[in-house]
A and B are shown apart, each in its own frame.
Chain A
Amino acid sequence: MSTSKRNQNERADEAGQQEQQAAAEFQDLDLETLDLEVEAVDERISPSETNVFDK
């Protein structure tokens, strides 16, 4: 087996392990009941804090 092929297989094994680990740890995630609200915190800097033309 060539080195690159071996590396590919190793990476695939690694990814497979990651997936299994994730599956084990997060197998109880029920998407229908999760609270998945996302709040973007935008406009932290408001123009009302400034008066650019005086400064």
Chain B
Amino acid sequence: MSFPITLIFPPQGHFTQPYLALPCIKAWLNERGFGDVDMLDLSIEAYDHFLTPEYLTYARDRARRHGRAQLETQGPLPFDRMRAWRSAVESELTADALIESIDDAKAVLRGEACFEPDRYIPAVKALYQGLRLVSAAHFPSELTPHNFTMRYANDRSREVLAATQDREENPFLAYFETQILPRLLERRPRVVGLSVIYGSQLIPALTLGRLIRQHLPECHVTAGGGFLAYIGKKLMHAPGVAECLDSMIFYEGERPLEELCRALEAGESDLSLIGSLTWFDRRGGGLQTVENPPGHPVHLNQAPMPDFDGLPFEKYFSPALVLPYDINRGCYYGECAFCTLPTVIGPGYRTRAAETIAGHVLQLRDRYRTTHFNFITDCMPPGMIKDLPDALIANRAGITWWSDARVEPKAYDAEGARLLFEAGCRKLLFGFETATPRLLKMMKKGQSLRSVTQVVQNCADAGISVTLYAMVGFPSETREEARATLRYIEESVPAVREVSLQTFHIDEVALTYREPERFGIRILDDPEADLQLYHDYESEVGMTQAEAAEMFEEMMQGLANALPIFSGDSIFYFMQKSHYFLHLARGMHPDRFAELAQARAAARTQPKPTGDLEVRPGLVARELGHSYQRVLRTLHDPLARAARPDFLTGRFVGAAEELAARELPDAPAESRWLLYEAGVGEFVELRPDGYRLLEAIRRAGSLGRWLRTQKAPGERGAAALRMFTQELYLLGVLVPAATGPLPDVLLPRPEGRPAGAPSDLPSRTH
């Protein structure tokens, strides 16, 4: 008898490549006799659905209901209305252009044009702005490429459950009802497994779980994954959650899910013998949460190769498929004070043999016709750093790959790094954390700064792109120590190409929470947060949490100046997971990519117009009652950012909204013009005078034509006009006109030359 199982990755995860958990579980279930297992990556499917002309049209019309007119009064704009105002302004300017261009943008990211920066960057911007429009339709909810948050706090079960039924603000409710539920009703799975790796997936997962339980009462809804490993026990005891789920699996999903399916297939209602399962016992009309003891971990080397069949590869926003593959689970080192890995994956360290990995990689390469891999590992032990390249080279795998890594100076010596490159390694991400030896010791990192320098240099010399994970705000860290970390990174460029910087968080399973006195901190509890995982804390010495947030901004600014990939809009390569890696995989050296990024940033400041200019066709302009730029600056203030659910933790920082509203200035009433150009994907703000001038140029047909209607400007007037037009040219608002040369008065001149004097630039003829 058929026993259909559906494994679901709920929104929201990143949109460039598939995730690994479901393919691992599918392969395991298939091998154990469950042949009818399908997988739905609803994260990529939802992104693809929302980013269509049809949905964006719906979003535009819906966003208009909370239009700007309702928010702008004659007076100042207070902080508590700024987000809504910004959202309304952006929707108003961008919607029509996005509806027109969104299909093209997706096609660029999925095709060869993805490798052309002038097409790639505007396409990525269109995706970001498209999601802003989707968010505006469900304000104040925010769906971004990296996150999904609502007005509800993730660490309060009552709020989370309310969010699952908020038809106005939860975009996934209607999406699931109209797009997903009909498919499930047709398939009628007996078990649905939801993989919740990130906090951003919690509300969507429970929203879907509730719908399935309502419409498919015979289906058992279970959930598991990294995020639930942290808060799952609390969640399973929270009132109302039984309306969304039937059970939850902790640690690895393979074996518990197999046993659960077997029990349900046999019609058993007592699930108490299934290891690592927590379930709702509804027998006799009651409802009781039952926590089963942990089961045995999987023997990884005997686990089957992940099975990606059925995933919608064509929908990922990437020009090539990058497959994740788990070479090991757990961490062989397992000492770091901030680490919470055992909570997610279970105790112990297990690995596949290098030969097994090579064998699987070859099969995956041929089956899915891709040579790009993302090896999922928290760190490769020294032996594997040698054995894996040997096996890949011996088997002529011909692949490229990237992975996380731990600083192992003996393994990543010059020869080791060379072998890794030869075996296809193009990018490694090392846990560096800080340049302060005192803190490294407190963190129990077991690495010296000297060894970091050596490993980074060896990898860079071999042609491998190096990313460092860094941390700011570890208990007792001072501002000077954080600045020393920044200086170390700056001095390590170009060997270091990217940095993933995070502020330190205290979660309930790390050593820092369990033994706070060792770190000189006092943990603060929030009695309202029944799902609390992350905690505020007070530090006896070093930076406060707020100071660490400020230092984060300072360090990010320093990194933007120091790292070519962080300069200008090249930052998008860093932010789109494998996109930079795919350039390396095609043979580009990291040095060359850095040169291109630098040239791109420089192009934004250097070129001067050489001919007549006209206003870019299709430019959208709106008169606003406040300065968009000023509002944006306020919303980027650390105080304002703290008032949103935190990116990493999804929780609201206590009283942050009130504090921000009290401390941050209102935006005064002032007339401004905001311009938006879809081809560039950027906003430019002008004063009313500037817009009048721009409009005059537009109506005249070109800058030259307009100037011919004017009296010759004086020196100051010519200088002001020159600066204005050059800036607008750089920003893409003014573009070359086919009407002739640049008017003489605007030609760049050596210092001291009076306006109107003949130009001596050789490239110009009059």
Contact = CB atoms under 8 A, between A and B. Distances in A.
Given A29-B692, A32-B720, A41-B632, 8 more contacts: A22-B699, A26-B695, A30-B717, A36-B721, A39-B686, A45-B575, A46-B636, A53-B467
A20 B714 CA distance: 22
B689 A51 contact: no
Interface residues of B, number: 69
Contact of A53 (B469, B641, B716): B469
A44 B146 contact: no
A6 B258 CA distance: 82
Nearest to A55: B14
B700 A22 contact: yes
B685 A39 contact: yes
B90 to A, nearest CB: 9
B728 A38 contact: yes
A26 B696 contact: yes
B690 A41 contact: no
Interface in B635-673: 636, 641, 647-648
Contacts of B13: 55
Contact of A36 (B146, B690, B718): B690
Contacts of B684: 38-41
Given A29-B710, A51-B502, A51-B648, A35 B687 contact: yes
21 contacts: A22-B706, A26-B695, A31-B718, A34-B690, A36-B686, A37-B686, A37-B687, A38-B684, A39-B684, A40-B731, A41-B628, A41-B683, A41-B685, A44-B128, A45-B572, A45-B575, A46-B636, A50-B575, A51-B500, A51-B502, A52-B500
A53 B576 CA distance: 9
A7 interface: no
A20 B713 CA distance: 18
Given A31-B717, A32-B716, A36-B690, A47 B571 contact: yes
B720 A39 contact: no
Nearest to B555: A48
* Interface of A, helix, strand, loop or mixed by DSSP: loop
A44 B142 CA distance: 15
A35 B689 contact: yes
Interface in B386-429: 404, 429
Nearest to A14: B701
Contacts of A31: 693, 713, 716-718, 720-721
A20 B710 CA distance: 10
A3 B37 CA distance: 71
A2 interface: no
B509 to A, nearest CB: 16
Interface of A: 15, 18-23, 25-27, 29-32, 34-55
B429 A27 contact: no
Most buried by A among B501, B627, B687: B687
A40 B571 CA distance: 17
Interface string B134-155: 0000000000111100000000
A12 to B, nearest CB: 11
B574 interface: yes
Interface in B562-581: 566, 568-569, 571-572, 574-577
Given A15-B705, A20-B709, A32-B714, A41 B689 contact: no
A42 B709 CA distance: 34
Contacts of A46: 556, 636
A18 B648 CA distance: 55
B714 A49 contact: no
B693 A34 contact: yes
B167 to A, nearest CB: 27
Task: In the A-B complex, list the 10 residue pairs whose CB atoms are closest, starting with the nearest.
Answer: A31-B717, A23-B709, A26-B696, A22-B700, A34-B689, A41-B683, A39-B685, A36-B724, A50-B146, A55-B14
Nearest to A49: B647
B727 interface: yes
B690 A19 contact: no
B647 A50 contact: yes
Contacts of A23: 700, 709-710
A32 B714 CA distance: 8
B128 A45 contact: yes
A44 B759 CA distance: 39
Contacts of B689: 34-36
B682 interface: yes
A13 to B, nearest CB: 13
A52 B632 contact: no
A38 B699 contact: no
